[in-house]
Structure 1
């Protein structure tokens, strides 16, 4: 296998992840759009579940907890996308997560933060502050968007930790991933159906192509990361994966015509650099 295969796969996953989020941000009815994206996720999970082993019974509580966290994450993410610019909301959501994981390791697990990891937390913090204050001091109207993006990052950290334990209890990583996609997808669709009622299918008519496309991009992106994790260094993969932060900032500026500006671009780069330092410190 070429030594470039793993980094190319991870960078492709980062691009696809930013792309499906940009599609979700651009949907007029984001709640219905997320439901359609999850139809694709559930379908992909069902196909994988046919071929993969059923997870061990010990993993099911973690699957249930992760499903709750992932539904909450999606609801908060779509709220952030309703209220704020994609090029600002996506980096804040993605950047908050590794910092929260590092702080949880310090406060809950008693893992000290020093050297590279401490520097990583500080750099991520500066980057997130730069993103939040890129347009000046946020007014009261901007606070809900910033809170939704930061809350999204907290929930990403939550399901990352839960899945990290759950996949080890499952006995088979592919079985855990398959059932996670299936259960999470069904749960999100049912949640949207409860919120929107019987008219959901009719409301989704204009969202099927974009939503299913976003769902497929999401599945392929995650599949590339999982494959890379079986063949490459985990810390390097984690750092490369978060290049999606800068990719999202560029998509926001070039495709969605949002203001990028030097401050927002520099802040996105700082978040990416801080995450890389956290990954090196962990490795």
Structure 2
């Protein structure tokens, strides 16, 4: 993987971890996500206006991605309702790289290099060390586990869709903007149906946090879509999961959650996997 792409995806991983912590910090995770997604929609409109339009063939992919992101958001916020951040986040992200690797091979005919494939494997192993062996006194219930794993399926699905759509678009920036707009509209409609029009009043006082979350989340995925036009989709998807390391640190310092030695061992495996992906 090219060094510029590699560093850009690492930066996206840090950004992605940051917005997940913002969601966890709110008393009502659903409202936090509503606010962030609304502002991502505004960001998407600005991107579509600022950059050349994507190729028409890519627009159905953007719509499909918006639907898949809706499922992802709903499953994610349900997981965070009862789950600990440093447990839910690794589970939600842990299976996605392997699912993406298999789908990229089957759907996109992408065959990773040997170092790249080994890197994905080590990184996923590290994530599961962090998630499963690191459980000490914090065990997610069955429903939390179900929604966290379901989140992985949505992640892998929209990653493949956006890898294909971004390449077809010829303009990854405006394609990403369209994804953000469709995602925001769909999630907004669901939020109105669930909470009613008073939801705008509820989230308005927290607009600064929402803006920060939108810039982090939207910026991270914009980078990912761009990276997938320059590197194998599975490698980009796996490298994004180095965000687990950032979440561990933020969980320790900001949320005061316990991080055990097995999780630190998993962190070492994640770093080794990322290095192999770079070589691949």
1:9-24 matches, within 5 Å, as 9-24=8-23
Task: Pick closer, same or farther for the CA change 1:8–1:115 going to 2, 3 Å.
Answer: closer
CA 1:68–1:6 in 2, change beyond 3 Å: closer, same or farther? closer
Distance 1:272 1:159 in 2: 25
Q: Which residue of 2 aligns with 1:86?
A: 85
Q: Is 1:95–1:275's contact at 8 Å kept on the other side of the alignment?
A: no
Contact 2:176 2:225 in 1 (8 A): no
Please report the TM-score for the alignment, with normalisation by the length of structure 1: 0.82
| Equivalences for residues 209-220 of structure 1 within 5 A | 209-220=208-219
Match of 2:100 in 1: 101
Q: TM-score, normalised by structure 2?
A: 0.83
CA offsets 1:127-179 (integer angstroms, 9 cap, x no match) = 3443124226986x523222222221221110011111112332422221121
1:108-257 pair list within 5 angstroms: 115-116=114-115, 119-120=118-119, 122-124=121-123, 126-130=125-129, 131-135=131-135, 142-225=141-224, 241-257=240-256
Greater CA deviation, 76-85 or 157-166? 76-85
Q: Return the alpha-carbon distance in structure 2 between the equivalents of residues 167 and 111 of structure 1.
A: 15
Indicate how the Cα distance of structure 1 residues 103 and 237 shifts in structure 2: closer, same or farther if over 3 A, else same.
closer
Structure 2 match to 1:38: 37
Instruction: Give, in angstroms, the shift of residue 67 of structure 1.
Output: 0.8
Can you give the 5+ residue segments of structure 2 that lack an aligned partner in the other structure? none
Which residue in the other structure is 1:69 paired with? 68
Q: How far does the alpha carbon of each residue in 1:64-118 deviate from its partner, in whole angstroms, 9 at most, with x for none? A: 2111100101111112222222122222322321111122345667777895455
Aligned-partner Cα distance in 1 for 2:106–2:226: 32
Partner of 2:25: 26
- Residue aligning to 1:260: 259
Give the 3-state SS of the residue equivalent to 1:204 in structure 2. Answer: helix
Cα gap change, 1:242/1:52 in structure 2, threshold over 3 Å: closer, same or farther? same
Paired with 2:121 and 2:4, the residues of 1 have a C-alpha distance of 32
SS at match of 2:196: helix
Go from structure 1 to structure 2 and tell me whether the alpha carbon gap of 1:273 and 1:144 turns closer, same or farther (over 3 Å shift): farther
Distance 1:240 1:117, change over 3 A: closer
The answer on whether the counterparts of 1:96 and 1:153 sit within 8 Å (CA) in structure 2 is yes
- Given the superposition, is the C-alpha separation of residues 65 and 148 from structure 1 closer, same or farther in structure 2, using an over 3 Å criterion? same
Determine the C-alpha separation between the residues in 1 that align with 2:232 and 2:111: 20
Asked if the contact 2:58/2:166 (under 8 Å) is kept, the reply is: yes
Structure 2: distance between partners of 1:34 and 1:262: 32
Partner secondary structure for residue 126 of structure 1: helix
Classify the secondary structure of the residue corresponding to 2:197.
helix
1-structure distance, mates of 2:177, 2:256: 36
Instruction: Find the aligned partners of 1:108 and 1:216 in 2 and give their Cα distance.
Output: 31
Q: CA deviation at 1:23?
A: 0.4
Aligned residues: 277
Aligned equivalents of 2:4 and 2:53: distance in 1?
A: 30
Please say which of residues 128-137 and 143-152 is displaced more in the overlay. Answer: 128-137
SS in structure 1 of the partner of residue 52 of structure 2: coil
CA distance in 2, matches of 1:183, 1:239: 25
Judge conservation of contact 2:173–2:222 (CA < 8 Å) in 1: no
Structure 1 253/36 Cα, relative in aligned 2: closer, same or farther at 3 Å?
same
Q: Deviations over 1:222-278 (max 9, x none)?
A: 445566678x8668866654331111111111111011111123224434544654x
Preserved contact between residue 253 and residue 260 of structure 1 (Cα < 8 Å): yes
